[in-house]
Homo-oligomer: A and B are copies of this chain.
Amino acid sequence: MMIWTNMAIPNGLFRTLTFEVATAGVNWTNLNEEIKESGLFLPLDPSPKALIGGVVATNCSGTNALRYGTMKDYVVNLTVVLADGSIIKTRHRPRKTSAGYNLNSLFTGSEGTLGIVTEATLKLAIIPDSFSVATATFPTIRAAADAATKMIRSGVPLAALELMDDAQMGVVNKNGGAGGRMWQEKTTLFLKFSGTKSSVEDNVRLARHVAKAFRCNTFEAATDQKEMDSLWAARKQALWASLAIRPEGTQIWSTDAAVPISRMAELIQACKERAEKLGLVTSVLGHVGDGNFHQMVMYDPRSPEQVQATKKCVEIMMEKAIEMEGTVSGEHGTGLGKKHCLLKELGPETIGLMRAMKNTLDPMWLLNPGKVFDE
Chain B hits for A162, CB < 8 A = none
- In the complex, what residue of chain B is closest to A198 when comparing beta carbons? B198
Count the copies.
2
State whether B290 touches A95 (Cβ < 8 A): yes
| Nearest Cβ on chain B to A95's Cβ, whole angstroms | 5
Contact of A93 among B97, B325, B338, B356 (CB under 8 A): B325
Q: Is A69 an interface residue (CB 8 A)?
A: yes
Q: Is A53 an interface residue (CB 8 A)?
A: no
Contact of A9 among B14, B100, B152, B372 (CB under 8 A): B152
Contacts A106-B106, A289-B10 given; does A98 touch B353 at CB 8 Å: no
State whether B98 touches A8 (Cβ < 8 A): no
- Interface residue total, chain A, C-beta cutoff 8 A: 93
State whether B357 touches A101 (Cβ < 8 A): yes
In whole angstroms, what is the CA distance A79 to B338 when docked? 23
State whether A334 touches B95 (Cβ < 8 A): no
Point out residues on A near B: beta carbons under 8 Å. 6-15, 18, 58-59, 61, 65-70, 72-73, 82, 86-106, 108-110, 114, 126, 152-153, 155-158, 258-262, 287, 289-292, 322, 325-334, 338, 342, 345-347, 349-351, 353-354, 356-357, 359-361, 372-373
5 closest residue pairs by CB, A with B: A105-B105, A12-B12, A94-B327, A94-B258, A97-B327
